């Protein structure tokens, strides 16, 4: 079977146009018609050249601007996802991106690579399967000229440096033998700030706001499994350790970008449960404390082995010391207290979460990842959704676990159990901590953006930056079109 992204069969933007036909049947001409055939061939060639020169879109994916391919593996906390990109350069040397299904594919496997901390060799199976998927989407003749990269995020950042390197060395061995173009330095753990910048880039690329007034761009708040990111243009003073400058054309953007490590949905829930367990152990009473963020009737060790995130795999030890007692208001208070821990150590003018500087949020925002999944689960309106989340979370947290399983039979228990926590945690972070008004319609939840519904995945932003100037970012140099200054 031919790969779906075969350079000769793909659909080229805009959608109502396609690449020139690439399938021909050639028969041996008769000698009497050789001259006529040559004349016809020259005429057709000249005609095609005229069309190509007058309509640059038709060049996309053609003989003159062939498709190129790139692969990026996102080693996240809850899973590892491979992204396969097809792109081309127009006759002016500008990269053309299309994240539709004809030029983009992805696949995710669980658990994340950080789950192999005690068995680094185990990571090879996951990465090998992702590589094999990528190969099915790229013509074999293109493999050796297609680069493949791996970027680890918060789950990997939580590991000790030696353990990180052990896992990365295993992935490098797999990628070196993959048949793709690869260098050892292309498998790395990226900073949380970079992750936020990449997410900001793809969001504003999708919305068409790159190159516009900085204050007209859209910010990103993302809730991952092990960390949360906030990235947006700020007109106020931002300490240099939180500030990044990106240039696009003649426009320069000064961006606040920070990753709140340990504040992702999974790690925050784990921290809360550990805190409750410590309270139970230090209790002078019966040694049992209530967990307000888990629906009543939930038994902590029944499904812990099914958890793909790896963060709650040791949940069984909570049995007997913690009792599920879902209550949205109490859960909101508990999660807010979690977010404010360390605030007394704030050395800046303003700290919203812990002791980390956070400027006042301004402009429009997209809430992504677990913010999106939570809001989508409760079927909230995209605008004003924060105000709707409170009654929805209150009702959900107050339900019995058995009733919830019956009401949502197709939802995995790992996620079903977590929606009480994530609903309260969302309000605690976005409203109680970051100060976003409940009725503020400038913040919407989304997993895709723009007229073309481009996925809001930071890996797409990383691909854009790498493609514009493949090597300069890693050396901290500026880029020709879009990059760090």
Positive/negative CA dihedral, 343, 336, 156, 85: negative
Model confidence band, residue 259 (pLDDT cutoffs 50, 70, 90): very high
How confident is the model at residue 243, as a pLDDT?
93
**Higher-pLDDT residue of 76, 52:** 76
Do 114 and 255 fall within a single domain? no
Query: Interior CA angle at 299 toward 298 and 304, to 5°?
Result: 110
Predicted local confidence at residue 211, as pLDDT:
80
**Does the annotation flag 225 for ligand binding?**
yes
Sequence-ordered strand ranges (E) for 122-250: 147-152, 187-189, 218-223, 227-233, 243-248
The rounded distance, in Å, linking the Cα atoms of 118 and 272 is 24
| Residue 238, in any domain of the structure | yes
pLDDT above 60: residue 382: yes
Cβ–Cβ < 8 Å for 386, 440: yes
Inside any domain, residue 457: no
| Residue-level pLDDT at 482 | 46
Strands 187-189 and 322-324: unpaired
Share of the chain above pLDDT 90, in %: 68
How much is the pTM?
Answer: 0.81
Kind plus residue range of the DSSP H or E element containing 102: none
Active-site positions read 195
Smallest CA-to-CA distance from 102 within 230, 39, 13, 189 is with 13
- Residue 206 pLDDT grade (very low, low, confident, very high; cuts 50, 70, 90): very high
Could you tell me if 205 and 121 lie in one domain?
no
143 and 219, same domain (yes or no): no
Last residue of a domain, one of 137, 158, 190: 190
Give the C-alpha separation, 371 to 358, whole Å: 19
pLDDT tens digit sequence for 355-366: 999 999 989 999
Same domain for 397 and 439?
Answer: yes
Look up the domain containing 400 and give its range. 193-264+336-452
Q: Provide the pLDDT for residue 63.
A: 55
For residue 474, is pLDDT > 80?
Answer: no
Domain-embedded: residue 15:
no
What 3-state DSSP class applies to 440? Answer: coil
Mean pLDDT computed over every residue of the chain: 84
d(CA 153, CA 75): 6
The Cα 3–Cα 135 span in angstroms is: 9
In a domain, 324, yes or no: no
* Whether the Cβ atoms of residue 318 and residue 394 lie closer than 8 Å to each other: no
Average pLDDT over residues 293-315: 65
Is 52 within 8 Å of 64 (Cβ atoms)? Answer: yes
Q: Domains in the chain: how many in total?
A: 2
Residue 477 predicted with pLDDT over 50: no
- Pick the last residue of a domain from 141, 162, 190: 190
Segment 172-194 shows an average pLDDT of 97
Q: By C-alpha distance, which of 141, 156, 144, 120 is closest to 2? A: 141
For residues 414 and 383, membership in a common domain is answered with yes
Instruction: Consult the annotation and say whether 229 binds a ligand.
Output: yes
Q: Tell the residue number behind the tokens 């500026």, with chain if given.
A: 478
* Joined tokens for residue 163: 């353990």
Q: How far from the centroid of its chain's Cα atoms is residue 147's Cα?
A: 20
| CATH number reported for the structural domain that contains residue 138 in this entry | 3.30.420.40
- pLDDT tens per residue, range 151-175: 999 999 999 999 999 999 999 999 9
3-state secondary structure of 233: strand
Bridge partners for 296 per DSSP: 400
* Neighbouring C-beta atoms of residue 215, cutoff 10 Å: 11
Give the separation between CA 271 and CA 227, rounded to whole angstroms: 13
Compare 446 and 316 and report the one with higher pLDDT. Answer: 446
CA angle 391, 393, 396 (to 5 degrees): 110
252 and 396 inside one domain:
yes
Higher pLDDT, 340 or 246: 340
- Residue 469: what pLDDT? 55
Alpha carbons 421 and 335: distance in angstroms, whole number: 8
Average pLDDT over residues 12-38: 41
Sorting pLDDT into bands at 50, 70 and 90, what band is 36?
low
CA distances from 432 to 114, 119, 264 (A): 31, 40, 16
Q: At 261, list the tokens.
A: 């490590």
What stretches of 11-127 adopt beta strand conformation (E)? Answer: 68-75, 80-89, 95-97, 104-109
72 and 154 in a single domain? The answer is: yes
Pick the range with the lowest mean pLDDT from 319-323, 364-368, 410-414: 319-323
Of 91-105, 114-128, 399-413, the range with the lowest mean pLDDT is: 91-105
Is residue 23 in some structural domain? Answer: no
Say yes or no: 234 and 250 in one domain: yes
Angle, helix 370-377 to helix 413-427, in steps of 10 degrees: 100
- Local structure of residue 433 (DSSP, 8 states): I
């Amino acid at each position: 079977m031919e790969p779906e992204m075969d350079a000769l069969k793909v659909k080229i933007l805009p959608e109502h146009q396609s690449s020139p036909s690439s399938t021909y049947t050639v028969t041996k001409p008769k000698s009497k018609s050789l001259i006529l055939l040559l004349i016809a061939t020259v005429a057709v060639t000249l005609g095609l050249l005229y069309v190509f020169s007058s309509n640059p879109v038709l060049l996309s994916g053609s003989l003159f601007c062939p498709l190129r391919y790139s692969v990026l593996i996102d080693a996240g906390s809850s899973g590892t996802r491979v992204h396969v990109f097809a792109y081309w350069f127009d006759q002016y040397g500008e990269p053309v991106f299309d994240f539709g299904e004809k030029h983009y594919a992805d696949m995710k496997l669980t658990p994340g690579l950080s789950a192999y901390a005690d068995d680094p060799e185990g990571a090879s199976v996951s990465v090998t399967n992702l590589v094999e998927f990528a190969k099915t989407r790229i013509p074999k003749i293109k493999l050796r000229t297609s680069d493949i990269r791996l970027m680890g995020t918060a789950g990997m950042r939580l590991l000790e440096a030696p353990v990180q390197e052990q896992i990365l060395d295993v992935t490098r061995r797999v990628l070196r033998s993959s048949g793709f173009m690869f260098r050892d330095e292309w498998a790395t753990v990226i900073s949380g700030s970079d992750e936020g910048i990449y997410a900001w880039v793809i969001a504003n690329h999708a919305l068409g706001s790159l190159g516009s007034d900085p204050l007209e761009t859209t910010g990103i708040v993302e809730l991952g499994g092990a960390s949360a990111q906030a990235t947006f243009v700020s007109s106020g003073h931002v300490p240099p350790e939180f500030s990044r400058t990106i240039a696009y054309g003649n426009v320069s953007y000064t961006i606040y970008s920070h990753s709140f490590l340990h504040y992702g949905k999974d790690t925050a829930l784990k921290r809360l449960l550990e805190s409750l367990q410590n309270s139970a152990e230090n209790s002078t009473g019966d040694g049992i404390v209530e967990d307000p963020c888990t629906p009543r009737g939930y038994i902590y060790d029944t499904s812990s082995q099914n958890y793909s995130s790896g963060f709650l795999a040791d949940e069984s030890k909570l049995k007997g010391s913690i009792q599920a007692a879902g209550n949205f208001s109490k859960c909101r208070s508990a999660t807010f207290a979690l977010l404010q821990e360390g605030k007394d150590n704030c050395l800046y003018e303003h700290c919203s979460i812990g002791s980390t500087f956070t400027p006042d949020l301004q402009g429009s925002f997209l809430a992504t990842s677990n913010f999106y999944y939570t809001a989508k689960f409760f079927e909230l309106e995209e605008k004003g959704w924060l105000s709707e989340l409170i009654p929805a979370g209150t009702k959900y947290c107050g339900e019995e676990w058995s009733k919830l399983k019956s009401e949502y039979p197709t939802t995995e228990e790992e996620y079903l159990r977590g929606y009480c926590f994530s609903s309260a945690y969302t309000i605690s972070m976005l409203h109680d901590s970051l100060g976003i008004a409940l009725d503020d319609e400038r913040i919407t939840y989304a997993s895709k953006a723009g007229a073309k519904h481009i996925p809001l995945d930071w890996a797409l932003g990383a691909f854009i930056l790498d493609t514009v100037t493949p090597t300069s970012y890693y050396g901290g140099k500026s880029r020709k079109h879009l990059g760090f200054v």
